[in-house]
């Protein structure tokens, strides 16, 4: 039965020296930050697929144990994109210090190098305040930029990239892949995902700048595991369905109308964001509202699968299973216990930037 949404028209720095303070009642862990003057910064990570409860658990921990939260969500950086990215509410942000949320307009380009600069600034500020930071999100490349840094090709030539994007629009992804393989046969060994146009373009940019392609996360030094939240597949699909339907009820369509009013043209990344792309298609008469909802659900589930695969293959993660009716406090205690067991993770090359 159709839903009614008419109402919503390679060298890691040593971590900060920390001393564990244990709450024996819950066996919780909160660090006391020392030697801040050295600026060797570390943080605690909570990662995993979308819609698995990371934000709720992070908010609980941050409020109760005085952590700051650094978002590692590639869409949360855009101002005005609130409902579709499930950002914390204004009230939640008033109670907790947040970083890398609402830092650029949705019409602006933004990449991982930009994220790293904003994130490092926030991490340094919190280190000076002696406040521990919880980094939460599912954008693997953003997280990797903090734990492993970026190579010299982190920036890119906007004009050249635009030309390649136009090439894809005209000739398709297969033509791009053929072009890359013809130029650089080694791509078959050095790049796993040959169906991802952004990675193919990025690969060529690095090659043209004579930058050696880095090996996978597994081959880099990262001995301290992150903590991750995940769900069993049937539960995850239900969680996604519930979240997407609630987003539409909460006004995702009106949010998109506001974002694109007055002829505003969203950046390519913002326009392709899950939920927003589907609503824009609906507003342009390319699909029905119900189709937009269903497509958003499918794309979100696909994103979750990609995130799950990425973290399992590229990162060292200790996983905690969650459920639709999870006890946030109970899960938070499990997260804190693992942080207490393993400690914080160093942020890469802070001194050099």
CATH number at residue 62: 3.40.50.300
Q: Tens of pLDDT along 36-88? A: 444 579 999 999 999 999 999 999 999 999 999 999 999 999 999 999 999 99
Q: Is the residue at 223 inside a domain?
A: yes
What is the phi-psi region of residue 15: left when phi exceeds 0, alpha when psi lies from -120 to 50, beta otherwise? beta
> Would you tell me how many other CB atoms lie within 10 Å of the CB of residue 302?
12
Q: pTM for the full model?
A: 0.77
Do 226 and 94 share a domain, yes or no? yes
Do 15 and 162 share a domain, yes or no? no
Q: Tens of pLDDT along 214-266? A: 444 444 456 799 999 999 999 999 999 999 999 999 999 999 999 999 999 99
Domains of the chain: total: 2
Closest CA to 42 of 280, 347, 300, 350: 347
Do 45 and 191 share a domain, yes or no? no
Q: What is the pLDDT of residue 189?
A: 81
Compute the average pLDDT of residues 94-112: 95
- Phi then psi for residue 75, to 5 deg, are -100, -20
Are residues 87 and 152 in contact, defined by beta-carbon separation less than 8 angstroms? no
Range of the domain at 110: 10-151+217-352
Question: Residue 174 pLDDT > 70, yes or no?
Answer: yes
Question: Residue 12 pLDDT > 50, yes or no?
Answer: no
Question: Residue 182 pLDDT > 60, yes or no?
Answer: yes
């Amino acid at each position: 039965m159709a839903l009614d949404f008419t109402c919503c028209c390679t060298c890691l720095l040593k971590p900060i020296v920390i001393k564990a303070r244990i709450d024996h009642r819950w066996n919780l862990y909160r660090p006391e930050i020392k030697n801040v003057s050295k600026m060797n910064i570390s943080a605690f990570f909570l990662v995993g697929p979308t819609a698995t409860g990371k934000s709720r658990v992070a908010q609980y921990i941050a409020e109760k144990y005085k952590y700051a939260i650094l978002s590692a969500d590639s869409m949360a950086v855009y101002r005005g994109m609130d409902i579709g990215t499930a950002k914390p509410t204004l009230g939640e942000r008033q109670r907790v210090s947040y970083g890398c949320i609402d830092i650029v307009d949705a019409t602006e380009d933004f990449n991982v190098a930009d994220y790293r600069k904003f994130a490092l600034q926030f991490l340094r500020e919190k280190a000076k305040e002696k406040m521990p930071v919880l980094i939460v999100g599912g954008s693997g490349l953003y997280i990797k930029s903090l734990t492993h840094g970026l190579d010299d090709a982190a920036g890119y030539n906007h004009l050249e990239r635009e030309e390649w994007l136009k090439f894809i629009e005209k000739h398709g992804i297969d033509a791009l892949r053929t072009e890359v393989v013809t130029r650089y046969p080694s791509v078959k060994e050095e790049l796993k995902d040959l169906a991802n146009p952004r990675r193919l373009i990025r690969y060529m940019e690095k090659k043209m700048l004579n930058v050696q392609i880095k090996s996978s996360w597994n081959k880099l030094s990262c001995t301290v595991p992150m903590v991750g939240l995940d769900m069993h597949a049937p539960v995850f699909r239900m969680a996604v369905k519930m979240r997407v339907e609630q987003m539409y009820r909460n006004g995702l369509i009106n949010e998109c109308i506001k974002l694109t009013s007055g002829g505003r043209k969203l950046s390519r990344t913002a326009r392709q964001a899950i939920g927003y792309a589907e609503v824009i298609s609906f507003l342009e008469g390319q699909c029905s509202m119900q189709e937009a909802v269903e497509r958003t659900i499918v794309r979100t589930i696909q994103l979750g699968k990609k995130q799950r695969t990425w973290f399992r293959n590229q990162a060292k993660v200790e996983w905690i299973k969650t459920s639709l009716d999870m006890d946030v406090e109970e899960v938070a205690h499990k997260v804190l216990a693992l942080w207490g067991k393993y400690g914080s993770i160093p942020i890469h090359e802070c001194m050099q930037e």
